[in-house]
Amino acid sequence: MDLSALYLDISKDTMYCEAPKSRERRSAQTVMYHILRGLVGVLAPILSFTADEVYEAMPGSKEASVHLTDLPRLPEVGVDVTAWDRLFVLREMVAKVLERARAAGQIGQSLEADIALHGNFSPKALIGDLDVDLAKFFIVSHVDFRPPADVGGDVVDIPGVGTIAVTMSPARGRKCGRCWQYREEVAQEGGLCARCEDVIDGLAPAEAATI
């Protein structure tokens, strides 16, 4: 569930819309490769033939069979787990706000929304040292930090940060015809945002024709 409902869902924009050789997209591909390699290794003793077929189709230099490899070990990675815990608690509340707006007919998909986070806290206190785009993390078009106000909204208490009120508004700007995010620089409906224009401009003609 965490893989399909969280990581892969959050990574769709990076995989589909960033430049093919960009750091963001290559990083996501690398993570997915290691996840797949780990799953194949763990499942090999149970689903021996299926795991071997998947392993054979994986890119890169490798053994003749997954059954000739060692069981995968988790690498030592310096990750601020506490910061991720804070963000996932907040993401659950954002998801509730978006679902309520969807049920009320205010939005269709989540990219049609902007999220505002109200409270006496700094973005650094919430995110820590993580390099994370909250708009991508919540799958919305914009995320704004605002001071506390009598705005209503849903309130969540984040340990180490304090109380955050979450509100939603229709996304500002127009819908990009490529990534579907709403951006103020999109000149007309179906036009491209600045990021997508840069990506298309950097592609060879044959590549651009397939985007």
Question: How do residues 99-139 score in pLDDT, each as one tens digit?
Answer: 999 999 999 999 999 999 999 999 999 999 899 999 999 99
Q: How far apart are CA 86 and CA 164, in angstroms?
A: 11
Domains defined for the chain, CATH in brackets: 2-68 (1.10.730.10), 81-172 (3.30.2320.20), 173-211 (no CATH)
Question: How do residues 87-96 score in pLDDT, each as one tens digit?
Answer: 999 999 999 9
Task: Identify the residue whose tokens are 């969807």.
Answer: 102
168 in helix, strand or coil?
strand
**Which parts of the chain are beta strand (E)?**
113-118, 142-146, 154-158, 162-170, 174-175, 182-183
Report which of 19, 26, 13 is spatially closest to residue 201, judged by C-alpha positions. Answer: 19
Q: Is 21 left (phi over 0), alpha (psi -120 to 50) or beta?
A: alpha
pLDDT value at residue 157:
92
The pTM assigned to this predicted structure is 0.86
